[in-house]
């Protein structure tokens, strides 16, 4: 099982969708489309994205502390 971390490559804005796509075994494009479609529904999607951007570590810092 992979650790949930924002990748340094293949990310567009903050890497949240790319990290979630890697965790759930789907493509980053699919995860981005799901996020955009979820924005049509009422809820705190943008706040959740910003919170994950802040809380998820970057991939480089995860590798450095993983040994």
Q: Could you read off the pLDDT tens digit of each residue along the chain, which spans 67 residues? A: 567 888 888 788 889 999 999 999 999 999 999 999 999 999 999 999 999 999 999 887 555 555 5
Sign of CA dihedral 48, 58, 30, 3: negative
Give residue 3's pLDDT.
75
Give residue 1's pLDDT.
56
Give residue 61's pLDDT.
56
List, in order, residues 6 or more apart from 10 with CB less than 8 Å away. Answer: 18, 28
């Amino acid at each position: 099982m992979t650790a949930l971390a924002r990748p340094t490559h293949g990310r567009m804005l903050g890497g949240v969708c790319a990290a979630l796509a890697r965790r759930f075994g789907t493509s980053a494009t699919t995860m981005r489309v799901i996020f955009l479609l979820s924005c049509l529904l009422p809820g705190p999607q943008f706040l959740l994205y910003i919170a994950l951007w802040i809380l998820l570590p970057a991939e480089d810092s995860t590798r450095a502390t993983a040994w």
